[in-house]
Amino acid sequence: MILNIFTDIHNKLLEHMSGGAAHITELILIAAAYLGIFAILGLLLVWLERRVAGFFQLRLGPNRVGPFGLFQTIADALKLVSKELTGTVKADSMLYRTAPYFVITTALMALSLIPFSHEIQAFDINIGVFFLISVSSVGVLGIFLAGWASNNKYSLIGGMRTGIQMISYELSVGMAIVTMTVLAGTLQISEIIEIQKDGWLIWKGHIPAIIAFMIFMIAGTAESNRTPFDLVEAESELGAGFHTEYSGMNFAYYFLAEFVNMFIIASVAVILFFGGWLSPFGITDTIPFAGLFWFTVKVIGVIFIFMWFRWTFPRFRIDQLLTLEWKYLLPVNMVNIVLMALIVWLGLTL
């Protein structure tokens, strides 16, 4: 059904313009659609975060603006849009203004690789996993530049912590992903999902796959700067950390990107470990939007775990954060990759 809609749009465009013009128009439409998805995802995840926080803290959460408080985040967005874009005279103007776009652009590029269903994926290449890791790494520059360019001591400390934290935990995220690509035998995201039709990779890979999932969830939480790894912001210590000097939409870009990055990390976990859009019951999805439904349900489940972390664990100290990565996660990851390679070489996968 979805594929038919895309085909109809393509045919309609060809009726009114040349092939090249139709292709450019389709790219513009896809970009506009993903910008819409980006904005809607951010609003919904902020609302979900507040409801989950209310659940864990034995309160209701937002419930006044709209049904179940659904319009609360829209009201917040309108407030941020209407606020003045302030700054400091001591800031490095060019870097200060450019930094938010690094974060928002890289998050949008990473989102384009995520397959919401068999038909809905903007960008599918044979090195998809490698491209996803590369693009995600660039987003760190936006946070680092914000801390440096603001010329504020709290922002600078937040930016310095960014470099330490991201460089450290990118290793564990990358090695957990490599562990699963060794099992899958491909870097193309659509192929990784297709090979799970007879069973999810988290079960095919035995204990090393389960270990890789646990490490990915811990390191992914750190990569998205969420509690208990939110030393980059650390409101009780640094005011607002790297975005202390940002207001209005520039602040909203960082706020939005954090939640979209959480969605991307959760999506990667679903793709690598839980079969992506595939039904958990091992049946072929013939119902329209069934793939989109299962993908959404799985991603929400993983996002709930991230939110569970936030409202359960206290913030780490910087020495604890680095000790966890360099003394525990990294060595376990290295041994785990070797174990997974042995399982694949010996043909012991399920």
> Whole-number mean pLDDT of the chain?
87
Distance in angstroms (rounded) separating the CA atoms of residues 30 and 254: 23
Rama region for 44: left / alpha / beta (φ>0; ψ in -120 to 50; rest): alpha
* Cα 110 to Cα 48, 305, 312, distances in angstroms: 22, 21, 29
Classify residue 180: in a domain, yes or no.
yes
Both 96 and 62 in a single domain? Answer: no
Both 3 and 46 in a single domain? Answer: yes
Classify residue 125: in a domain, yes or no.
yes
How many angstroms from the chain centroid is the CA of residue 290? 22
Both 117 and 78 in a single domain? Answer: no
Question: Can you state the angle between helices 128-149 and 93-111, rounded to 10 degrees?
Answer: 160
Both 14 and 146 in a single domain? Answer: no
Q: Looking at the predicted structure, is the pLDDT value of residue 305 above 90?
A: yes
> Which pLDDT does position 163 carry in this prediction?
78
Residue 102 · residue 252 · CB < 8 Å: no
Domain end, chosen from 28, 52, 82, is at 82
Q: What are phi and psi of 157, to 5 degrees?
A: -60, -40
* More confident: 4 or 146: 146
Both 57 and 96 in a single domain? Answer: no
Q: Looking at the predicted structure, is the pLDDT value of residue 307 above 60?
A: yes
Give the chain's domain count.
2
Classify residue 75: in a domain, yes or no.
yes
Q: Residue 248 — very low, low, confident or very high, per pLDDT cuts 50/70/90?
A: confident
Classify residue 304: in a domain, yes or no.
yes
Distance in angstroms (rounded) separating the CA atoms of residues 95 and 92: 6
- Find the domain containing 253 and state its range: 92-346
* More confident: 153 or 211: 211
> Which pLDDT does position 1 carry in this prediction?
47
Q: Looking at the predicted structure, is the pLDDT value of residue 97 above 60?
A: yes
Task: Tally Cβ neighbours within 10 Å of residue 291.
Answer: 22
Both 37 and 172 in a single domain? Answer: no
* More confident: 40 or 17: 40
Q: Which of 256, 277, 254 is nearest to 267 (CA)?
A: 277
Q: Looking at the predicted structure, is the pLDDT value of residue 287 above 80?
A: no
Q: Looking at the predicted structure, is the pLDDT value of residue 238 above 80?
A: no
Classify residue 87: in a domain, yes or no.
no
pLDDT digits (tens, 9 = 90+) for 150-191: 888 888 888 888 878 888 899 999 999 999 999 999 999 999
- The one-letter amino acid code at 124 reads D
Q: Looking at the predicted structure, is the pLDDT value of residue 282 above 70?
A: no
Both 34 and 148 in a single domain? Answer: no
Distance in angstroms (rounded) separating the CA atoms of residues 95 and 75: 30
Both 149 and 170 in a single domain? Answer: yes
How many angstroms from the chain centroid is the CA of residue 348? 32
> Which pLDDT does position 274 carry in this prediction?
94
Classify burial at 230, counting beta carbons within 10 Å of its beta carbon; exposed 0-12, middle 13-18, buried 19 or more: buried
Both 21 and 170 in a single domain? Answer: no
Distance in angstroms (rounded) separating the CA atoms of residues 146 and 104: 13
Q: Residue 284 — very low, low, confident or very high, per pLDDT cuts 50/70/90?
A: low
> Which pLDDT does position 302 carry in this prediction?
96
Both 32 and 128 in a single domain? Answer: no
Mean pLDDT of 314-328: 90
Distance in angstroms (rounded) separating the CA atoms of residues 59 and 61: 6
> Which pLDDT does position 11 carry in this prediction?
72
Q: Looking at the predicted structure, is the pLDDT value of residue 6 above 70?
A: no
Residue 147 · residue 162 · CB < 8 Å: yes
- For the question of whether the overall pTM of this predicted structure is more than 0.75, the answer is yes
Distance in angstroms (rounded) separating the CA atoms of residues 340 and 347: 11
Q: Looking at the predicted structure, is the pLDDT value of residue 4 above 60?
A: no
* More confident: 138 or 4: 138
Both 35 and 146 in a single domain? Answer: no
Q: Looking at the predicted structure, is the pLDDT value of residue 275 above 70?
A: yes
